[in-house]
Chain A
Amino acid sequence: MTEIYEVIIGLFIIIGALISIVATIGAIRFPDVYTRNHAISKSTTLGVLMILLGALFYFMFFEGQFNSRIVLTMLFIFMTAPVSGHLIGRAAYNSGVKLAQQSVTDELARDRKKVKQSKSI
């Protein structure tokens, strides 16, 4: 029985580590701030979540206790990760960082122009 637990816990932690690695590769390969922000701030959420789940199962099966602090960590990651991602993107856009050349649409620029025009009239 212990072996099965070990395999499950190991799988969780390895998948988490793999997701984090791929997120880092994405940060190198993607062209601009916004897409890099995607790769890092989100994929790491799932990566860290998987590693924490592995730790939680370890404590449950081998130490025989439900470690509530790990659950709290997950909760706080879910609360803080989107805020930081949103703020980085917003700050970049407001300070005038251009989108990558491959970008297909920018409806925010279009709508802001409209607002400016309506104000000047």
Chain B
Amino acid sequence: MAFQMLLNFFLAFLWMFFKTSFTPAAFVVGYFWGLVILFIFRSYFPYRFYLHRVWAVIKLFFLFIKELVLSNITVLKLVLKPKVNIKPGIFALPTDLQKDWEIMLLGNLITLTPGTLTVDVSDDNKVLYIHAVHIDDVKDSVDSIKNTFEKAIMEVSR
């Protein structure tokens, strides 16, 4: 990914030198044409075309914003109920992610969405322990995180 991006920057600067105009607009145009060239030659790179990954990052970001707002509303509802009848608890989330930064990202995203908080990571980096404000069913909670965040992160790192 880094190599393709560097190549794209190089093509953009090349375009600027060809046009002899060193404005940001020329850079943007050059970057676009560089992107087109990279797209045409995408099958010759060892890794997939890097815009896929950029797109996955954008999708992850919007998924996160959606989850942030939705779960905030859930927690606000719990707080404002006349009787606080919550069922907190710590559940284990076995994760398929392997690299350190993926697990860090998953833990941080879980902690940022209200209602769930990463308390601990097991020594072998395979299980995340998550404290949740309200657990109806442990399996449901695990599945909901697995299907949203973990899937989106895998999409990025694949």
Contact = CB atoms under 8 A, between A and B. Distances in A.
Interface of A: 19, 22-23, 25-26, 29-32, 34-35, 37-39, 41-43, 45-46, 78, 81-83, 85-86, 89-90, 93, 99-100, 102-109, 111
A39 B75 contact: yes
A99 B87 CA distance: 11
Nearest to A32: B88
Contact of B112 (A25, A81, A111): A81
A37 B115 CA distance: 10
Interface stretch (B23-31, B40-48, B51-59, B125-133): B125-133
Main SS of the interface on chain B? mixed
Given A19-B72, A22-B79, A102-B88, 19 more contacts: A25-B79, A34-B119, A38-B117, A42-B113, A42-B117, A43-B75, A46-B69, A83-B108, A89-B118, A90-B119, A93-B119, A99-B89, A99-B90, A102-B86, A102-B87, A104-B87, A106-B89, A107-B138, A111-B122
A37 B117 contact: yes
Given A38-B117, A103-B88, A108 B129 contact: yes
A30 B86 contact: yes
B33 interface: no
10 contacts: A23-B79, A34-B117, A42-B72, A42-B111, A82-B107, A89-B131, A90-B120, A102-B88, A105-B91, A105-B138
Contacts of B109: 82
A19 B77 CA distance: 11
A90 B108 CA distance: 13
Contacts of A78: 112
B119 A39 contact: no
A38 B91 contact: no
Contacts of B6: none
A47 to B, nearest CB: 9
